[in-house]
Structure 1
Amino acid sequence: MTVHPNQPLTLSGLSTNGVSQPHGIWSLQALREAVDGGRITKVFLAAADNVGRPLGEHLPARRFLEHVGDHTAFRIPLMVWQLDIEQDLNPDLEHVGGLSIGGPDCYLKPDLSTLRVLPWMTDTAFVICDPVLADGTLLEIAPRQILKRQLARLAEHGATVQCASELEFFLFEQSYEDGWRSRYQEMSPASRYQGAYDPLVAISNESFIDAVVEQMELAGVPIEALSCEYGLGQQEINLTHTDALEMADRHFIYKFGVKAIATRMGKSATFMAKWDAAGLGSSCHIHTSLWSVDGSTPLGDNELFDGFLAGLVDAAREMCLLYAPNLNSYRRFQPNSFAPTTVACGNDNRTLSFRVVGDSSHRRVENRIPGADVNPYVAIAAAVAAGVDGIERRLPFPELIDGDGYARTDLPQLPTSLPEAIDLFAGSDTAKSSLGAEVHAHLLTVGRGEMNAFLTQTVTDWERRRYFERT
């Protein structure tokens, strides 16, 4: 879909012709009625790529309804999962739908429990799909399937998880097009001074933030809380907790929506972990609580939670690649920055990688390692994989650390660079056995591809300043 800056947003559950439409998840019947009424003309079939972006195809809505029971009618090139963030083919992922095997398609199987209308997509329904190979098996390396596999492992132990994402981003007055033309050197943040939790600073961004909140509610992505954050133009919008797969789906939709709404309003928003070396980074703290499989009983005081938390802490360094997947991710891990550097957990302690919150059965853990650039499916899968490993090894509840975690250099430290994280992940028996050899190899190759792209395809401003005249 072509998106036009300054195009009015469709609010209050109305289609462009003013007819009321359902909020949140849609039924097929509701979609049929909207199609018959001319209010919905297209359906976008979306799947998360390696980065966690929605890629897919638009279909005429009537064709979607005619074939919705037969996913083999919906196709996309398998090489989508061979592409990097710039959509260059990673030669080390040639086996994933590459040209040497003919560039085959895979099928997109719609998950109808995700069918909804995203108000920022004009007259279009949206459904998340699971990629299916020609032999009928699911694509195991697809991010959503990676998470599903880990949730199934946890269910075997009689538990499931609920999650909530706390996503930060920076908002700018310039459009994405203007930022691109200026090489992002002339960006004006949406606030002039640091104004964390300051309602006066928030006033200047009300039109944008109000649009995001209203659009998300209509799209079935409820908001828990929102605030201005410490960085210039930095915003934080927290999503209401729900089961892990639904949270990952909402997170996936939310990031897409924030950028789409910014585009339509002639602004831009970035979820880079650290967009400015002199400023603060943007996090994606993920709150996780353990529940019975039917979701009725919290397990925060159960030995399952003890093992789960211990596994998180124990595997944090090895899994860091999946919490911090990009070169830029590691710029965020700085002392006294509210981003962690020390691998430990503490009771309501924001200076550590893991913060334990709540009491008794309602205890939960906040994973403070992920940045806003994270792929939600992969990050939550990594946490569940580490937690299940802790449960299976019957690890005891870890020591709770008090005081300033930044000063505790006697404790394990997070990796400080992408190469270090890659090496830790590559050598991790926990990651390989928990995720499975195929998924482990794929995620490792994606990480290495990101590193190699920087090393072999980039000349930075820092290099020009340092070497242009003096070498």
Structure 2
Amino acid sequence: MLNPREVRSPEDARRIVEERNLSHVKVGLFDNDGVMRGKYMSRDKFFSALEHGFSFCDVVLGWDVKDQLYDNAQYTGWHTGYPDAPVRILPASCRAVPFEDDMLLFLAEFDRHAEAVCPRATLRRVVERCREAGFEPLAALEYEFFLFDESPDSAREKGFRNLKPFTPDWFGYSVLRNSVHAELYRDILDLGEQMDFPIEGLHTETGPGVLEAAITVDGAEAAADKAALFKTFIKVLAQRHGLMATFMAKWSGDYPGQSGHIHLSLRHADGGSSAFYDADAPQNMSAVQRQFLAGQQRLMPELLSLMAPTVNSYRRLVPGFWAPTDATWGVENRTAALRVIPGSDKSQRTEYRLGAADANPYLALAAALGSGLYGVLQKWEPGDPVAGNAYALEQPAELALPRTLWESAQRLKASEAARELFGNAFVEHFAASREWEEREYRRHVSDWELDRYFEII
């Protein structure tokens, strides 16, 4: 029988469904916020979709994480009537779903006119530009996430307050915790193997109930697929264990935020050697890596909304909590936004440490990769690296990051580089979606405001 990870073509996809005698398969795609949307599809419908594509209501590109409709988007809305958008199946994305007997999952992405605003297609266009420039991009993402001894119902009954963490206290890299809860850790590791997002490292982080997982390196598109599936199915696995997982950037003011760091390198397409490694250069940094780093540094303020896409993202970007506050870089310096990791031809890379766990993996990777490529094409040079505590050093004004989601959206709209990298349609649509998110927040009256103003003001 055909292994799901051996599926490459529509013919392979048809064969594996027939071999498993499935009446239905699961099909999913990712929206603006990186949330997986999908459905079960009958075998006959799936076979037809393999050849001709299928249609998906484009409202999934026109609503937020609470299914509330954007009122400021041009691509879709009441003015268009929310028509169906064309979608194509990606046969090589086939995965077995461990919890559902022989069930198979296939990823899809928006096609034709809808490609312009599709997150996965946006990353694919950046990858194609890398290849046109003679490079093959490799990436690996790592995520921190908190686990709670709660259910979706109990969390809501508590108003998301006084939630019980899966484990108590601060205990990073704990062998005690991963031994006591070995069954859950093993289930996470097995899930990664079964669904092809293999986990290179898994450990407790600093904070009650927080774990960090590093996903194995792959080509950029595949790495984003792995990350997006990881985030989705860790939540599934947690709930099946009677737990809840969150990838919020900052769920509590008492604990560090949750990162989504991105490791990136380029290899020469014609020979396979590292484009970042130069044994004769300081820190083994080739000219290409320096230019790549310069692009990431210079464009970071303009592309921040792709890395920090929620109001909550900006709760994390404060000094002293392991999150950068300016577009800085350093060599093996974890207080900088960009960390150069010297190594060999195989391991020389950059780590984009600004990223948070709440970002859409496709768009975060598109920003990290696209900005680096832009620097290579422009032959930019980075500023000086920071030494010591980057939080304590005063940086030039042009390296300052936007402090709010609204400001980030305005910087994106005004960015010529963003429009060249991602297209006008994407920039306008995504910026509008972030403006909507900020406006939704401003309609909310917080507990802090009630406590501060209700009686006294």
Both proteins in one fold, TM over 0.5: yes
1:468 aligned residue: 454
Is this contact kept in 1: 2:97–2:105, CA < 8 A? Answer: yes
Q: Does 1:194 align with 2:170?
A: yes
Q: Quick one: structure 1 residues 69 and 351, their matched pair in 2 at CA, closer, same or farther if it must change by over 3 Å?
A: same
Does the CA-based 8 Å contact 1:223-1:238 persist in structure 2?
yes
Which amino acid counterpart does residue 68 of structure 2 have in structure 1? D
Residue deviations 1:52-109 (CA, integer Å, cap 9, x gap)? 11112210234313542121xx22101210011111110112x333232232101220
Structure 1 residues 327 and 122: CA distance shift in structure 2, 3 A: farther
Give deviations 1:252-281, integer Å, cap 9, x for gaps. 111111001111111100000000111111
Q: RMSD across aligned C-alpha pairs, in angstroms?
A: 2.1
Q: What is the CA distance between 1:25 and its match in structure 2?
A: 5.0
- The whole-number CA distance in structure 2 between the counterparts of 1:255 and 1:209 is 15
SS at match of 1:232: coil
Residue segments in structure 2 that go unaligned for 5+ positions in a row: 278-285
**Counterpart for residue 6 of structure 1:** none
What letter corresponds to residue 3 of structure 2 in structure 1?
P
Aligned partners of 2:18 and 2:241: how far apart in 1?
Answer: 30
Code of the residue aligned with 2:56 in structure 1: it is: I
Matches within 5 A, 1:8-19: none
User: Equivalent of 2:132, from 150, 156, 179?
Assistant: 156
Secondary structure of 1:69's counterpart equals helix
Deviation at 1:309, TM superposition (A): 1.0
1:11 corresponds in structure 2 to none
The amino acid of 1:58's aligned partner reads Y
Tell me which amino acid in the other structure corresponds to 1:452: R
Q: Identify which of 245, 257, 260 aligns with 2:233.
A: 257
For residues 437 and 375 of structure 1, do their structure 2 counterparts lie closer, same or farther at Cα, with a shift above 3 Å needed? same
CA shift at 1:399, angstroms?
2.3
- Report SS of the residue matched to 2:139: strand
Counterpart of 2:404 (choices 386, 399, 417) is: 417
Query: Residues 263 and 26 (structure 1 numbering): CA distance in 2 closer, same or farther, change over 3 Å?
Result: farther
Partners in 2 of 1:159 and 1:393 — Cα distance?
15
Q: Percent identity?
A: 29
Provide the TM-score with structure 2 as the length reference.
Answer: 0.92
Match of 2:107 among 128, 131, 141: 128
Output aligned runs, 1:259-338, within 5 Å: 259-293=235-269, 296-301=272-277, 302-338=286-322
Farther-moved stretch of structure 1 (428-437 vs 349-358): 428-437
The answer to which of 50-59 and 344-353 deviates more is 50-59
Partners of 2:242 and 2:87 in 1: CA distance: 33
For the residues of structure 2 that align with 1:389 and 1:31, how far apart are their CA atoms?
Answer: 37
Task: Give me the whole-angstrom Cα distance separating, in 2, the residues matched to 1:54 and 1:469.
Answer: 43
Instruction: Give the aligned residue type for 1:262.
Output: A
SS of corresponding position for 1:139: helix
Q: Does 1:81 align with 2:57?
A: no
3-state SS of 2:72 partner: helix
CA offset digits 1:104-138 (Å, max 9, x no partner): 10122001111121213454211111212xxx445
Counting only pairs closer than 5 Å after superposition, residues 36-185 of structure 1 correspond to structure 2 as 36=18, 40-71=22-53, 74-93=54-73, 95-121=74-100, 123-132=102-111, 136-185=112-161
Verify: 1:385 aligned to 2:370, yes or no. Answer: yes
Letter in 2 for 1:464: L
Given that residues 165 and 238 in structure 1 are in contact (C-alpha distance below 8 angstroms), is that contact kept between their aligned partners in structure 2? yes
Q: Which amino acid aligns with 1:284?
A: G
Name the SS for the 1:140 alignment partner.
helix
| TM-score for both structures, normalised by structure 1 | 0.89
Q: Which amino acid aligns with 2:23?
A: T
Provide closer, same or farther for how the CA distance between residues 205 and 450 of structure 1 changes in structure 2, counting only shifts above 3 A: farther
CA distance in 2, matches of 1:355, 1:168: 18
After superposition, give the CA deviation of every residue in 1:394-417 in whole Å (9 maximum; x if it has no partner): 112542221111111234333332
Q: CA deviation at 1:328?
A: 0.4
Name the SS of the counterpart of 1:44 in structure 2.
strand
Give SS of 1:100's match. Answer: coil
Q: Can you list the C-alpha shifts for 1:391-448, whole angstroms capped at 9, x where unaligned?
A: 1221125422211111112343333322332233233222233322211111111110
Are the counterparts in 1 of residues 405 and 438 from structure 2 also a CA contact under 8 Å?
yes
Gap regions ≥5 residues in structure 1: 1-19
Quote the offset at 1:46 in angstroms.
Answer: 1.3
